[in-house]
Amino acid sequence: MSSSILNRAQAERELQRLIKAVEQHNYRYHVLDDPLISDAEFDRLFTQLICLENDFPELIDPNSPTQKMHGGVAEKFVPVTHATPMLSLDNVFDASGLGDFYRRVQQRLKTDEPLVFVGEPKLDGLAVSVRYEHGEFVGAATRGDGRTGEDITHTVRTIRSLPLRLRGQQVPAMLEVRGEVFMAREAFLAMNARAAERGEKIFANPRNAAAGSLRQLDAAVALERPLEIYFYAVARISDASRMESQTRALTCLKKWGLRVNPEVKTLTGLPALEQYYDELAKRRAQLPYEIDGVVFKIDSCAEQNTLGFVSRAPRWAIARKFPAQEEHTILEGVDFQVGRTGSITPVARLKPVSVGGVVVRNATLHNEDEIRRLDLRIGDRVVIYRAGDVIPKVVKVIQDARPAGAQRIIFPKNCPVCDSPLERESDQAVIRCSGGLACAAQIREAIKHFASRRAMDIEGLGEKLVDQLVNLGYVAHVADLYRLDEATLSALPRMGQKSAQNVLAALEKSKRTTLARFLFALGLREVGEATAAALASHFGSLNALRVADEAALLSVPDVGPVVAKHVLAFFANEHHCEVIDELLSVGVSWPAPSSERLNANAHHPLRGKIVVLTGTLTTMTREEAKARLKAIGAKVTGSVSAKTDVVFAGDQAGSKRAKAEALGVLIESEAQLVTYLSNV
């Protein structure tokens, strides 16, 4: 129905209905991580709401979900005095520190009984205080010095997982809650990658990115940033009687639609605290966000009151910190690495330093703009950041520690490997070697990529061997690999006859592959595993892809103009075509999509099924699995619900697996997934 034919009263009712529906779906999506409807359906609802509000602007509710997009621009940050101060936490760094704390609390409470705590991840973001009145979001502030913070209502409003209206029946007249705003690791990396490409500022870590995004005067900037929030405390509430414990407080927050970290757990006794720490420490790198430790809080509010505070920290809580992720060291030099596509990456050579237990010798510097932005010189004392499995990076220079004679970094004009001139594409931060396949570094990298596990999976053909083969001139392109013989290989240093035979056997085995893997292995620019799988399943044969024009390419899901351009350029290159033909002539092959196989797709057991992937897959990436499942007509979703048909659980599957078990959803292994996919 067109909104213009509604009268005011009807419009009012319709608005309330739409707002309720959008709020409900936002809650399912962002807080419960369990959407009921597809993104497209949600977009339609949301657009309906926007249209109706456009027609009746006088009826716009300031806390309508559309108003997240209209935080506006603040002129300056207005100071806000916290009615309840925002405290910090005391830290301990090892088990004995935690034991001391535990016994101190027992002494103060005059008890030998096991104590009940709540264990929570210590999120590494920015603390905020958020106020609701009669269930409506009215304001938010930073911690500041703990007593006075800054008003950031306009930017906090944009956070998608923050409800602008509380849910449930007994919503308090006034509620002030505390929580942590953060950025998930993946979203942070993607945001930085986009920024690097555009030559914009790169954030040092997710915490800085979250803090920088909230402290924006213009809410439109914050809206673009992938911010999230978890709440962890009630600071003030109009009816305090119901908050007899932290466990109860968190349960209420959840009931009111506020997002609470799912890792939170009530724990009894010191061994339970230690176990909680150990378990989270182990899973730290797998969590989608960064935590710098765990927080233990005495559960009972009565006990909290007995224990009280010392200066700025409560006596009833403690943070057990993880080993640091940042360290200081000296920049000893900068090397310039040439990537597979010729991109030149400056890499910092560092005085070795242990960061969180791992010795770091190199760190990425991204690109020339980043070196300039950091104002980096050789000899500088620098701050290194390393989190999880992410490549270490230089995040800061300690300017005050700069030694006399620190040298400027000169970006080369020519490729450090083949001496071809370097080129910078306009509006891109990346500098590339123009040597193409005349550049030994690009050849080496292309071959390593070709042989890698997710590409042709040639076991035993590691980096060192590839370097030797290229340097000695035995291999000039990937097809040459299949012409190697035992005599040549076994004559190489550290390569007995047995290893030579193994490499040859692996080469032979790799010839039987899939079109998706082959395309990925060729290393077309911007064609990762998922895109390769999408191209393979769309075109079905290499020939069809080779002759595809731009329009045909653009009709493939996930292929945009940039990918299309690179695919066209790749197949227009004569050398590439020769190499492909040689690969085919030495016997590289894959099963052709016969009509039988296409039919098999139509009857595939997973066709039309709602599938969830969780845990770490070992035989393929999640992206590849997703693309292949989609290709056979399965619907891959991010969260488990009663509607899920099957959950494929890889290693270390956690909460999603548990939820599937609780809901009685079918759980299958990665091996079973592989079997399903091989039946295609």
Q: Is 247 exposed, middle or buried (0-12, 13-18, 19+ CB in 10 A)?
A: middle
295 binds ligand IVH (CB under 6 A): yes
227 binds ligand IVH (CB under 6 A): no
Q: Which is nearer to ligand IVH, 321 or 538 (CB)?
A: 321
228 binds ligand IVH (CB under 6 A): no
Interface segment toward ligand IVH; rule CB under 6 A; list 313-321, 459-467, 540-548, 646-654: 313-321
Interface segment toward ligand IVH; rule CB under 6 A; list 314-322, 462-470, 557-565, 647-655: 314-322
Q: Which residue is nearest to ligand IVH (CB)?
A: 127
- Helices (H) and strands (E) in the chain — how many of each? 25, 26
Say whether 351 is catalytic: no
Q: Quote the least distance from Cβ 122 to ligand IVH, whole Å.
A: 4
Interface segment toward ligand IVH; rule CB under 6 A; list 119-127, 242-250, 589-597, 621-629: 119-127
Interface segment toward ligand IVH; rule CB under 6 A; list 115-123, 190-198, 321-329, 370-378: 115-123
Contacts 24+ apart (CB under 8 A), 347-354: 348/376, 348/382, 348/394, 350/382, 350/384, 353/327, 353/328, 353/329, 353/384, 354/327
Interaction pattern, residues 332-351, with ligand IVH; x per rule: CB under 6 A = --------------------
250 binds ligand IVH (CB under 6 A): no
Q: Quote the least distance from Cβ 88 to ligand IVH, whole Å.
A: 4
259 binds ligand IVH (CB under 6 A): no
Q: Quote the least distance from Cβ 261 to ligand IVH, whole Å.
A: 7
Short-list 285, 301, 182, CA closest to 231: 182
180 binds ligand IVH (CB under 6 A): yes
Interface segment toward ligand IVH; rule CB under 6 A; list 85-93, 208-216, 441-449, 470-478: 85-93
Q: Which residues contact 232 (CB under 8 A, 6 or more apart)?
A: 120, 178, 179, 180, 250, 260, 261, 264, 295
Short-list 382, 387, 304, CA closest to 348: 382
Q: Which is nearer to ligand IVH, 308 or 561 (CB)?
A: 308
Q: Which is nearer to ligand IVH, 293 or 650 (CB)?
A: 293
CA atoms within 13 A on the CB side of 506: 17
317 binds ligand IVH (CB under 6 A): yes
Place of tokens 């030099």: 333
CA dist list (Å): 244 to 234, 268, 303, 383, 554: 11, 17, 10, 44, 59
Structure-block tokens of residue 456? 């042709």
Q: Quote the least distance from Cβ 248 to ligand IVH, whole Å.
A: 16
Interaction pattern, residues 129-148, with ligand IVH; x per rule: CB under 6 A = --------------x-----
Binding test (CB under 6 A) with ligand IVH, winner from 175, 319, 465, 478: 319
Among 20, 110, 122, 656, the active-site one is: 122
120 binds ligand IVH (CB under 6 A): yes
Q: Which is nearer to ligand IVH, 140 or 451 (CB)?
A: 140
Decide the pairing of beta strands 635-637 and 610-614: parallel
Residue 390 corresponds to which amino acid?
V
314 binds ligand IVH (CB under 6 A): yes
* Helices (H), ranges, 58-120: 95-108
122 binds ligand IVH (CB under 6 A): yes
233 binds ligand IVH (CB under 6 A): yes
Binding test (CB under 6 A) with ligand IVH, winner from 3, 48, 88, 266: 88
Q: Quote the least distance from Cβ 89 to ligand IVH, whole Å.
A: 4
Q: Rounded to 10 degrees, what is the CA torsion of 570, 572, 577, 579?
A: -40
Rounded CA separation 584/485 (Å) = 18
Q: Interior CA angle at 354 toward 348 and 356, to 5°? A: 115
CA dist list (Å): 451 to 161, 342, 472: 42, 18, 18
Structure-block tokens of residue 672? 């079973």
Rounded CA separation 450/480 (Å) = 12
Interface segment toward ligand IVH; rule CB under 6 A; list 84-92, 218-226, 380-388, 503-511: 84-92
CA dist list (Å): 254 to 81, 117, 167, 304, 491: 27, 19, 9, 22, 67
267 binds ligand IVH (CB under 6 A): no
Structure-block tokens of residue 313? 């920290």
Binding test (CB under 6 A) with ligand IVH, winner from 29, 232, 450, 570: 232
Structure-block tokens of residue 540? 């079905």
Q: Which is nearer to ligand IVH, 81 or 573 (CB)?
A: 81
Q: Quote the least distance from Cβ 155 to ligand IVH, whole Å.
A: 16
- For the chain, the maximum distance between any two Cα atoms, rounded to a whole number of angstroms, is 88
89 binds ligand IVH (CB under 6 A): yes
Active-site residue list: 122
Q: Which residues bind ligand IVH (CB under 6 A)?
A: 87-89, 120, 122-123, 127, 143, 180, 232-233, 295, 314, 317, 319
